[in-house]
Amino acid sequence: MKTLLKSLLLAVAVLLAHGATAQEATIRKAILERLPQIKSIDEVSKTPIPGVYELRINGSEIYYTDAQGNYLIEGNVIDLRAKRNLTEERVTKLTAIKFDELPIKDAFTIVRGNGKRKLAVFEDPNCGYCKRFERDMQKIDNVTIYMFLYPILGADSAEKSKAIWCSKDPAKAWQDWMVRDQAIPALPAGCDTTALSRNVDLGRNYKITGTPTLVFVDGNRVPGAIDSKQVEKLLTDSKS
């Protein structure tokens, strides 16, 4: 009897899996035919809403469609009972940054005190909020900051970032510019600035759209110029 029951359950599972695969194939075919600008679909999955499916493209872009791929829905799915933004939660999970996997060779470090605590920051030298943030960060001690220059605000941001990156002491040049309003050293000839291009690609991959963006060792990501008290709390929380 137990063997028969197991066989029946296995058969049902196979049928359900086949149905899901067929449904996914139907949706993929319809969407790709009707929206040729979408070159590929990473994943098709069910949502908590009957008849509505999630489409994931370009790694972490989320859209929704019906079972036949006749409609495309763009926007947030919010669970009103649980008061949760399901789309936001999904994108946050997909774009989570593992601190230990950050390419720190493409950042310079600012060490204060014993440097035991760690923090990564993406900033643009032309970002006014970043300047305010940097000045407030002078209150933070016993931390190592991995500074990823992230020139996304224009061509001048790229030129300033190159000059800072290529200076004899990037950390000093950065703080001279951001905190003390001193001039940036001239860009030396022949300096390799490909790290900055990699930083921009990295940020785009993780959907970093503004500066400053902070990344803590526990993977917590904070967009915006939070104050030093908030940074202190998050540094403490990320250790626990």
The encoded tokens of residue 105 equal 């060779």
The encoded tokens of residue 94 equal 């997909």
Whether 184 has a pLDDT exceeding 60, the answer reads yes
The encoded tokens of residue 88 equal 């936001």
What mean pLDDT comes out for the span 166-187?
Answer: 96
Q: 105-162, pLDDT tens digit by residue?
A: 999 999 999 999 999 999 999 999 999 999 999 999 999 999 999 999 999 999 999 9
Identify which of 13-27, 86-100, 102-116 has the greatest average pLDDT: 102-116
Q: What is the pLDDT of residue 1?
A: 58
Which of the four pLDDT bands, split at 50, 70 and 90, describes residue 20? low
- Complete domains list, the chain, with CATH: 2-94 (3.10.450.70), 99-237 (3.40.30.10)
The encoded tokens of residue 147 equal 């500074």
Burial class of residue 118 in the structure, from the number of CB atoms within 10 Å of its CB (0-12 exposed, 13-18 middle, 19+ buried)? buried
Average pLDDT of the residues of the chain? 90
Q: What is the pLDDT of residue 220?
A: 86
- 158 and 196 Cβ atoms separated by less than 8 Å: yes
User: Which strand ranges, in their side-by-side order, compose the sheet holding 61-66?
Assistant: 43-46, 52-57, 61-66, 72-73
